[in-house]
Amino acid sequence: MAKIKLLSRELIDQIAAGEVVVNAAGAIKELIENSLDANSKNITIETRGGGKSSIRIVDDGCGIEQSDIPLVFVRNATSKIADDLSAIETLGFRGEALASISFVSHITLTTKTAEDVVGTKVLVEKNEVVQSEAAACRVGTIIEITDLFYNTPARLKYLKKDSAETAAIIDLVGYMALSRPDVRFSLICDGREIFSTDGKSDVLNTAAKIYGRNKITGLMKCEIADEPLFVSGYITSSAYSDDRSALKLIYINSRYVKSEPLSQAVEQVYKELFAKNGAGYILYIRLPAEMLDVNIHPAKLEVKLYNASLITMLIKQGIRSVLREEFIIKDSSPKKLAAEDSAFGNDEYVAQVFETAEKYFVGQPDKPTDELTEPAEATDSEPITFLPENEPPSAPTPEIPSAQSAQNSGGTLKIDSRGILLRLAQMKYIGNAFSQYALIECGSELYAMDIHAAHERVLYDKFLKDYQNRRIALQPLMVPVVISPGGTLYARALAMREELGSLGFEVDDFGGNAIAVRSIPAELSGGNVEQIVLGLLNALERKTAEDIGRRSERLIKEACHHAVRGEADINEAQVRALLTALYDTDMPFTCPHGRTILGRLDLKYFMKAFDRI
């Protein structure tokens, strides 16, 4: 190996310059940061040839005092001295940007402070002012850079085509402009104005000016104040959570940053709630300076969060509650929501909450439940259905009381709500309450699934499809089940043998007012045969004006209802499988009779009840 030698000063400077500025956009980032640190209210950025030919930044900031001008280009000279790196409030702090840029380009700087009578214009080459003259100009600073990387051919070669470099500049200036909606930015590339913002502090308008109106559709306000975290900004409302080209911007203490943990935290909430990946967000996060290290990346694009897990937790919590608020405001069933809304502030309600477990869950309390608890009771009456006579059974609108219901319009509502089922299938299963409800914790919500109703829905969908496709598999009974249904039903059973057969039930006359059931549909084999058949016989009464399709649906519904068994001892794996199976059904949120399958109880209910909020 050769002898160890010190690198020449020139080489050291070139290496350092390469770290701070990798391309024109990198240089522009540093220059805009300087303009912002100088309290500018108007910043104009002009570039030519992807920034390689020229970059010109005009600001109306405080300007640079004449005696300071030579120092601007000296490495590690800065006016933003922070004795403590943990207390940095400015965007710049290392005093190396202009030194670096001056090393790889030709710079002209024109500047004037409010105290100066006349401005100063200097030419700079490699850290040194080579020419200086008085110049007529306004208060502020103009920096012009030409021939970027002229003396570092390797770096120059590495740069992309002008158009690609221009694209990078547009991206960068967009991020920066949106970091400060209170500052007017104007970007002109090759003589063409790309965008200009109005500096009126309106985030959405600023975003629209930079990215176009369609990029702000579906964004809603998001404010989080949870010591030590403060966030203000915008997030995608649930109805728009599937837009993959959504804006995803995070600013911490006015600095645009790429933060994996934070962006993941936001996306996770959307995935959890909507099983979607398209969340958009423009978040302005404020954190105490000592909670982050901005000095871990040469271009200051990444920051290190101390206690990242706390911050991400607070962000998630905050976003969840914002989305929940949205649900309360926008749900398509205002009656229920009005009741739910006022319930939060109503102590009487909180007391009621403890009365019965069912009341915990926002369901459909006014629907009769006796049929479910007394499945064996066979009467001649019409089975209870909750559907209007003239509508197909899949018609009821899902009323899942969850954040997903935020959408007003029918189409997206169904699809988005459905996602929660797959999500729940992976969340924390707590157990079964009252042998009837499977409890699953998901984020700050507790879901309850009516096991019987869920089962019934899955069974019904499967059985109906098999019937319509004439594919009902028969399960022969080794020992026929003999039933004595009583005079009328016995007669009906024999009269309707064929129809029963088409549903998979083979029955024979057993003599003495009894029938023998020889086979049942395999799908229903878990159920009590006698109860299923009795239920069916009750439902078999021919109704005038009932079309065939509706009749078979009604019969199948009845058969399924009595076929559901074993909800009391359903185990975790079965609950998860049931949730997944529900996902594939036509209408996962109501049983074939229209009863609610899934209920939700918000953490707020508990917190309110236990005096925490």
102 vs 402, which CB is nearer to Mg ion?
102
Single-letter residue type at 108:
T
What's the Rg (C-alpha) of the chain?
35
Residue pair 548/554 in contact by the 8 Å Cβ criterion:
no
Site track 478-507 with Mg ion (rule: CB under 5 A), x = hit: ------------------------------
Question: Nearest-CA neighbor of 602 among 324, 357, 358?
Answer: 324
Angle at 313 between CA 172 and CA 263, to 5 degrees: 20
Among positions 25, 38, 229, 403, the unique one binding ligand ADP when judged by CB under 6 A = 38
59 vs 165, which CB is nearer to ligand ADP?
59
Contacts (CB under 6 A) with ligand ADP, residues 506-545: none
**How far apart are CB 297 and ligand ADP at their closest, in Å?**
14
Closest residue by beta carbon to Mg ion: 92
Single-letter residue type at 492:
R
Could you give the CA distance from residue 556 to residue 589 in angstroms, rounded to a whole number? 19
Among positions 54, 79, 332, 397, the unique one binding ligand ADP when judged by CB under 6 A = 79
**How far apart are CB 112 and ligand ADP at their closest, in Å?**
10
Could you give the CA distance from residue 428 to residue 168 in angstroms, rounded to a whole number? 44
Among positions 34, 44, 111, 127, the unique one binding Mg ion when judged by CB under 5 A = 34
72 interface partner picked from ligand ADP, Mg ion, none, CB below 5 to 8 A per type: ligand ADP
**How far apart are CB 339 and ligand ADP at their closest, in Å?**
57
The torsion defined by the Cα of 56, 62, 63 and 64, in degrees rounded to 10, comes to -130
Contacts (CB under 6 A) with ligand ADP, residues 196-225: none
Q: Per CB under 6 A, does 17 bind ligand ADP?
A: no
490 interface partner picked from Mg ion, ligand ADP, none, CB below 5 to 8 A per type: none
Closest residue by beta carbon to ligand ADP: 92
CA distances from 581 to 421, 435, 459 (A): 9, 20, 10
The helix/strand/coil state of 572 is: helix
Q: Which residues contact 139 (CB under 8 A, 6 or more apart)?
A: 60, 62, 63, 112, 113, 114, 116
Among positions 14, 23, 34, 407, the unique one binding ligand ADP when judged by CB under 6 A = 34
Residue pair 572/429 in contact by the 8 Å Cβ criterion:
yes
35 vs 596, which CB is nearer to ligand ADP?
35
Site track 302-331 with Mg ion (rule: CB under 5 A), x = hit: ------------------------------
257 interface partner picked from Mg ion, ligand ADP, none, CB below 5 to 8 A per type: none
The distance of Cα 554 from the centroid of its chain, to the nearest Å, equals 40
Beta-strand runs (E) in 253-305:
255-257, 281-286, 292-293, 304-305
73 vs 270, which CB is nearer to ligand ADP?
73
Q: Per CB under 6 A, does 72 bind ligand ADP?
A: yes
24 vs 503, which CB is nearer to ligand ADP?
24
- CB count within 10 Å of CB 148 equals 27
419 interface partner picked from Mg ion, ligand ADP, none, CB below 5 to 8 A per type: none
Could you give the CA distance from residue 367 to residue 595 in angstroms, rounded to a whole number? 8
93 interface partner picked from Mg ion, ligand ADP, none, CB below 5 to 8 A per type: ligand ADP
32 vs 262, which CB is nearer to ligand ADP?
32
Site track 89-108 with Mg ion (rule: CB under 5 A), x = hit: ---x----x-----------
Beta-strand runs (E) in 389-536:
428-433, 437-442, 445-450, 474-483, 506-511, 514-521
- CB count within 10 Å of CB 54 equals 17
How far is it between the farthest Cα atoms of the chain? 121
40 vs 206, which CB is nearer to ligand ADP?
40
Region binding Mg ion by CB under 5 A among candidate stretches 31-39, 333-341, 373-381, 563-571: 31-39
**How far apart are CB 37 and ligand ADP at their closest, in Å?**
6
**How far apart are CB 34 and ligand ADP at their closest, in Å?**
3
78 interface partner picked from Mg ion, ligand ADP, none, CB below 5 to 8 A per type: ligand ADP
249 interface partner picked from ligand ADP, Mg ion, none, CB below 5 to 8 A per type: none
Interhelix angle 410-424/260-274, nearest 10 degrees: 110
**How far apart are CB 97 and ligand ADP at their closest, in Å?**
3
Region binding ligand ADP by CB under 6 A among candidate stretches 90-98, 115-123, 329-337, 463-471: 90-98
585 interface partner picked from ligand ADP, Mg ion, none, CB below 5 to 8 A per type: none
Among positions 25, 55, 64, 208, the unique one binding ligand ADP when judged by CB under 6 A = 64
Tokens of 160: 């992309």
142 vs 362, which CB is nearer to ligand ADP?
142
Could you give the CA distance from residue 525 to residue 560 in angstroms, rounded to a whole number? 11
The torsion defined by the Cα of 454, 317, 269 and 407, in degrees rounded to 10, comes to 70
**How far apart are CB 227 and Mg ion at their closest, in Å?**
31
- CB count within 10 Å of CB 569 equals 9
Q: Per CB under 6 A, does 93 bind ligand ADP?
A: yes
In what helix (H) or strand (E) does residue 608 lie, and over which residues does it extend? Answer: helix 603-609
Could you give the CA distance from residue 272 to residue 262 in angstroms, rounded to a whole number? 15
**How far apart are CB 131 and ligand ADP at their closest, in Å?**
19
Contacts (CB under 6 A) with ligand ADP, residues 139-198: 141
**How far apart are CB 188 and ligand ADP at their closest, in Å?**
18
Q: Which residues contact 598 (CB under 8 A, 6 or more apart)?
A: 400, 402, 420, 421, 447, 448, 449, 450, 454, 588, 589
Q: Per CB under 6 A, does 60 bind ligand ADP?
A: no
Residue pair 187/196 in contact by the 8 Å Cβ criterion:
yes
Residue pair 53/146 in contact by the 8 Å Cβ criterion:
yes
75 vs 452, which CB is nearer to ligand ADP?
75
Site track 73-92 with Mg ion (rule: CB under 5 A), x = hit: -------------------x
Q: Per CB under 6 A, does 263 bind ligand ADP?
A: no
The distance of Cα 68 from the centroid of its chain, to the nearest Å, equals 49
- CB count within 10 Å of CB 336 equals 15
599 interface partner picked from Mg ion, ligand ADP, none, CB below 5 to 8 A per type: none
**Which residues form the interface with ligand ADP (CB under 6 A)?**
30, 34-35, 38, 59, 61-64, 72, 78-80, 92-99, 141
**Which residues form the interface with Mg ion (CB under 5 A)?**
34, 92, 97
